[in-house]
Amino acid sequence: MEMNTAENISDSNEWFDDYAIPDEGFQIDEYDLTAAPNDFNVITINNFIESGAIKIPGFQRNYVWDITKASKLIESLILGLPVPQIFLYEEGRNSFLVIDGQQRLMSIYYFMKQRFPRKEKRAELRKIFDREGKIPDEILNDDEYFSNFKLSLPERVPNQPNLFKDKKYSTLNDYKSQFELRPIRNVIVKQNVPKDDNSSIYEIFNRLNTGGVNLTPQEIRSSLFHSDFYEMLQRINLSSIWRGIVRTQEPDLHMKDVEILLRSYAMLIDGNEYKPSLIKFLNQFSKKCKTHTPEQNKYLENLFNSFLTICEDLPEGVFINKRNKFNIALFEAFFAAVCRERLQKREILKESLNIDQIKELAEDPEFLAASQSNTTSKANVLKRLERAHAIVDPL
């Protein structure tokens, strides 16, 4: 069967048979959070971005504004017109994640660099920014990636040029200091209690960071808990074998495939300790993975790659259900069962997988019952893992 491309998949739910409840939420206690307003001027904000104090969380949306919209923001700042406030999450001392305001911050950054990113290069530039914490000068000066950032502004009055049209940061002249010193309201959100649980910040992020398009739980999670472990998930997600298993050539735009990988690891490592909600469970597991050593991440990557290698001998569509969707519950339970003993021994998989065991698990009455209603309850999640372990012979 031919794999599907990103162009003809508008909704990941068309291809992934998910048991999660998408609108799971949290009660936010009154005294869990503080939100303090601060007025940082433009040059201070730019310095924060340059130094890495303000971080655009990994895997947020790419920069999507066109030069006209970005120019209007810059003009508003020069003129002193009100602009929307920016929300930052205080991750640590002098370390802030952008909750809401990515497009505005990057517009300021690019204007002060006097370079505007070409649309077709923005995904690649985002990866460079994530890796380097900035855009290296050699990339900024490369016309394949950037064009000159001159303000693109409309003429408001016939035959009367806009004062700032075609201006660059270096040619603002008398208005340069006015622009640099213009304050922008920043609301800094900090979670105080409990210190070991980011559920409240997650919900704040979920409610604020819409950008016109609601982010999925995994997009938010990847931003809040970005780590070397998440970098490893991204590498696995690009594996040609994995792309064949999920039957899509391109990674899902909303990171559903990354969430499947995360869930599979979480069920393997911490599945026996699962308790609802699924979102909170995955958030806590993601936070825990931030403490992994490079050696831990390397082993987990090797373990999954060894699983993928022995999956090459399986028939196509083995994890696809009767509705022609990828069965996440089946995949994660089977993966956890197959890898459990190897994980305990810090070994990788070498033997072949048993297709009959996968079919038996997929048709097992108890497994099916635990996959069809109240699917994120503790009893049903543990039942699926239990049935997978009972059916899959230790390798």
On the question of pLDDT at 319 being above 60, the answer is yes
In angstroms, the CA 358 to CA 318 distance is 8
In angstroms, the CA 221 to CA 362 distance is 29
Range from 86-100, 149-163, 185-199 that averages highest in pLDDT:
86-100
pTM over 0.75, yes/no: no
pLDDT at 104 (0 to 100): 94
On the question of pLDDT at 123 being above 90, the answer is no
Tokens representing 81 are 């017109």
Give the burial class of 10: count Cβ atoms within 10 A of its Cβ; 0-12 exposed, 13-18 middle, 19 or more buried: exposed
In angstroms, the CA 99 to CA 86 distance is 8
pLDDT at 304 (0 to 100): 98
Query: Over the stretch 55-103, which tens digit does the pLDDT of each residue have?
Result: 876 545 678 899 999 999 999 999 999 999 998 888 888 888 888 888 9
Q: Which residue has the higher pLDDT, 297 or 30?
A: 297
Confidence of residue 9 (pLDDT cuts 50, 70, 90): very low
Question: First CA to last CA across the chain, in angstroms?
Answer: 30
Q: What is the mean pLDDT of the chain?
A: 86
Could you count the other beta carbons within 10 Å of the beta carbon of residue 283?
22
